[in-house]
Amino acid sequence: MCGRFASWNDKNQILEHFGLSTGPEVAAGYNITPSSNIPVIRFLDGKELFNCHWGLIPHWARDRKLSPINARAESLSSKPFFRDSFKKRRCLIPANGFYEWQATQGRKQPYYIKVKDRELFAFAGLWDHWDNPEQSLDSCAIITTGANEAMRPVHDRMPVILDPKYYDAWLEQGGMELLVPYGSELDIHPVSLRVNSPKNQGPELIAPV
């Protein structure tokens, strides 16, 4: 799964990386938690950057009680909760890295994981738009898959990290063949237990310990 991540680039850096010309201001953080407002790229008339609630609420839902932050790649086409978004509303979620916890010696040690050859990358995601008489909300979920060899000692799942050459293909056509464990090198290192608290922010959270 992916329950915490870091995304600290500003709007202009995100626009440049994803080949966009304009977009809203975005929130940045070193310890992004579920229900946060996060930057997302989707394809409507063209690629666009927008802000999105992390926790997917389908357009047909009666309320916001169920809003998963992750969607398993293996069941996207079969689970009604995700099936429509998988067909019609795919997205890219900018990130600099993510956290995972490994059970060791009676406690859980947090690790920070990032792509080794570049600072900014993208998770594959799904989005939807939900309305009721009192509120309108865009929301999203990060797609997860089985862990690659480097990630497996820490956790058996990981978010789908897309190669930049597949960004447009994911947004415009989709395809299960893109939802595979990351094939290049990762940098994985233990970090401070301070990341356990959602109140803590700052670059010290990703520093090796």
Rounded CA separation 65/59 (Å): 13
Which domains, from first to last, does the chain contain?
A: 5-206 (3.90.1680.10)
Place of tokens 């989707």: 42
The pLDDT mean for the chain works out to 95
Please spell the DSSP secondary structure of 151-169, one letter per residue. Answer: TTTT-SEEEPEEPGGGHHH
Reported confidence tier of residue 3, pLDDT bands at 50, 70, 90 = very high
What's the gap between Cα 116 and its chain centre? 17
Rounded CA separation 92/141 (Å): 10
Reported confidence tier of residue 117, pLDDT bands at 50, 70, 90 = confident
Known active-site residue 204? no
Query: What is the predicted pLDDT for the residue at 1?
Result: 75
Tell me if 180 sits within 8 A of 146, measured CB to CB: no
Give 79-90 pLDDT, tens digit per residue.
999 999 999 999
Amino acid residing at 128: D
Please spell the DSSP secondary structure of 60-113, one letter per residue. Answer: T-SSSS---SEEEGGGTTT-HHHHHHHHH-EEEEEESEEEEEEEETTEEEEEEE
Give 9-55 pLDDT, tens digit per residue.
999 999 999 999 999 999 999 999 999 999 999 999 899 999 999 99
Query: What is the predicted pLDDT for the residue at 175?
Result: 94
Give 44-91 pLDDT, tens digit per residue.
989 999 999 999 999 999 888 899 999 999 999 999 999 999 999 999
Mean pLDDT of 177-192: 97
Rounded CA separation 39/27 (Å): 7
Phi, psi of 10 (to 5 degrees): -85, 180
According to DSSP, the β-strands at 157-159 and 135-146 are antiparallel
pTM of the prediction? 0.97
Phi, psi of 105 (to 5 degrees): 50, 45
CA-wise closest residue to 85 among 64, 63, 59, 66: 59
Query: What is the predicted pLDDT for the residue at 87?
Result: 97
Reported confidence tier of residue 103, pLDDT bands at 50, 70, 90 = confident
Is the pLDDT reported for residue 133 higher than 90?
A: no
Helix/strand/coil for 165: helix
Rounded CA separation 124/142 (Å): 6
Which entry of 2, 52, 91, 140 is annotated as an active-site residue? 2
Amino acid residing at 37: N
Is the pLDDT reported for residue 134 higher than 90?
A: no
Known active-site residue 16? no
Which entry of 16, 52, 91, 100 is annotated as an active-site residue? 100
